[in-house]
Chain A
Amino acid sequence: MKHLLSISDLNKSEAISILDTATELARVSDGAVKKLPTLRGRTIVNLFAEDSTRTRISFEAAAKRLSADVINFSAKGSSLSKGESLKDTAMTLQAMGADAVVIRHPASGAAQRLADSEWMSGSVVNAGDGTHEHPSQALLDAFTIRKHLGMGGSDLAGLSVAIVGDILHSRVARSNVLLLSMLGAKVTLVAPPTLLPVGIHNWPATVSYDFDAVIPHVDVVMMLRVQQERMSDLFFPNAREYSRYFGLNAERMANMKSGAIVMHPGPMNRGLEISAEVADSARSVITEQVTNGVSVRMAILYVLLAGGALEVGSN
């Protein structure tokens, strides 16, 4: 596998193998070994044309723990912000000898354009492209769920997950719907009708406008960030009404199944989609998601870069 652009690039066994690899790598990171020589001599470029401290640092830590050299290319102050095209940026990276580019970009499809072009020859890892996908986030979410609720199984069969919030604009939702259902979980999307895409009926998920009806039946409540701009774009009247119907507060949390967990890809709008009390509660695995992110991203880099390509003629 050369690139990771979308969850649909993986089949079920490949996804599980990434989770299993991450499990071992996590053990390694927790233990005495902090650094592995596996990607020594490789150069990984973080091409972040959109602000993101959390994801960029996570990929950087992952690459460094595998002894790769990391070059950070972020939006502000870079040639990208001065109007250099994606093509020219990519060709510069190629000239620098990048073995892999981790790209976060505001345009949907940017990662695929980079991978399909002839501008550079390295592997492309999609760290979030517009409103399309964020595969490493879905993998770390699945990893977290499996760790807490998987009961030793390899997949997520029998579990149910609610994803709540701005589904229309969420790349995290798109990747998670694909991955969670691939791993056997039942997915319910909860949102106001204005924040659900028109073409959603074919997605492997059920849809509900009623958060309270869904809460007692799910093992995972995954809250999505709601951007302030959505209010001026007429998606819902105001923050108060959004929170009242779709916010995860203490009352709603009390109705969750025993053992059910709360997740959020971050950054949170405390008070809008999630209350401070819930974010800091025992049910919340939000900070653990961040830790797991490093192990999962190490696994992704390992799978893409450590092996060689299959030789022609070999089986």
Chain B
Amino acid sequence: MSVALSAQDITRALTRISHEILEKNQGSTNIVLLGIPTRGAHIATRISSIITSIEGTEVPTGTLDITLFRDDLRMRPPRAIMPTKIPTSGIEGKDVILVDDVLFSGRTIRAALDALGEIGRPRTVQLAALVDRGHRELPIKADFIGKNLPTSKNQSVKVLLSEIDGRDEVTIEEEAE
């Protein structure tokens, strides 16, 4: 087991991502942050506070649970559905930034695109991920990445966040056979 990102690394990465979002979108006036539960939601909240501390404005922030849009539901027992909270200003014509902790096969983001499609029509959809571990199975790319972590398929990436797990850390572990 090795530590890929320490708590400080995570903070720096999220600060950088926040600046990149503002740069690409020329400010925060039209953006909506939607975190994918569980950990993506907490990361979105952090990015939202960082942007507020830079720009001085509140950014509409919510969560988007994609369980019901997954394409692999039948392979496991039914999963619990997490909350979906779309900010009251909606997503119509907005620049929606999806936020997730780990980008891997891309299927979660595909499901998120489907979910967004049922809600409305954003102007753009962008993706911020704390970690990109490669091995994409669909043509999905992140716009904002905390860290690129090349991994092999039999490794697993664990993201710990203080809001849930008591501390901030990203580790890589070998999967047991």
Does A touch B (CB under 8 Å) in the complex? Answer: yes
Residues of A within 8 A of B (CB): 17, 20-21, 24-25, 27-28, 31-38, 66, 302-303, 306-310
A24 and B119: CB pair below 8 A? Answer: no
B118 and A302: CB pair below 8 A? Answer: no
B65-80 vs A: 1/0 string, CB under 8 Å? Answer: 1001100011111111
Q: A37-B68, A38-B68 are in contact. Are A31 and B78 (CB under 8 A)?
A: no
B88 to chain A, nearest CB (A): 11
Q: Which residue on chain B has the smallest CB distance to residue A304? A: B78
B69 and A37: CB pair below 8 A? Answer: yes
B69 and A36: CB pair below 8 A? Answer: yes
B128 to chain A, nearest CB (A): 23
Task: Select B86's contact among A25, A31, A35, A303, beta carbons within 8 Å.
Answer: A31
A35 and B82: CB pair below 8 A? Answer: no
Q: Which residue on chain B has the smallest CB distance to residue A28? A: B84
Q: In the docked arrangement, what's the CA distance between A25 and B83, Å?
A: 9
B78 and A24: CB pair below 8 A? Answer: no
Q: Which residue on chain A has the smallest CB distance to residue B117? A: A33
Residues of B within 8 A of A (CB): 65, 68-69, 73-84, 86, 90, 114-115, 118-120
Which chain B residues lie closer than 8 Å to A66 at the CB level? 68
Q: Which residue on chain B has the smallest CB distance to residue A27? A: B84
A-B contact count (CB 8 A): 59
A88 to chain B, nearest CB (A): 30
Q: In the docked arrangement, what's the CA distance between A17 and B77, Å?
A: 13
Scoring B74, B75, B90 by chain A CB atoms within 10 A of each residue's CB, the highest score goes to: B74
Which chain B residues lie closer than 8 Å to A306 at the CB level? 68, 73-74, 78
Task: Select A307's contact among B68, B74, B86, beta carbons within 8 Å.
Answer: B74
Which chain B residues lie closer than 8 Å to A20 at the CB level? 80-81
B69 and A32: CB pair below 8 A? Answer: no
Q: In the docked arrangement, what's the CA distance between A310 and B90, Å?
A: 38
Q: Which residue on chain B has the smallest CB distance to residue A308? A: B74
A311 to chain B, nearest CB (A): 9
Q: A21-B81, A37-B114 are in contact. Are A32 and B76 (CB under 8 A)?
A: no
Q: A37-B68, A38-B68, A308-B75 are in contact. Are A17 and B83 (CB under 8 A)?
A: no
Q: In the docked arrangement, what's the CA distance between A20 and B78, Å?
A: 13
A25 and B114: CB pair below 8 A? Answer: no
Q: Which residue on chain B has the smallest CB distance to residue A35? A: B118
Q: A24-B83, A38-B69 are in contact. Are A32 and B75 (CB under 8 A)?
A: no
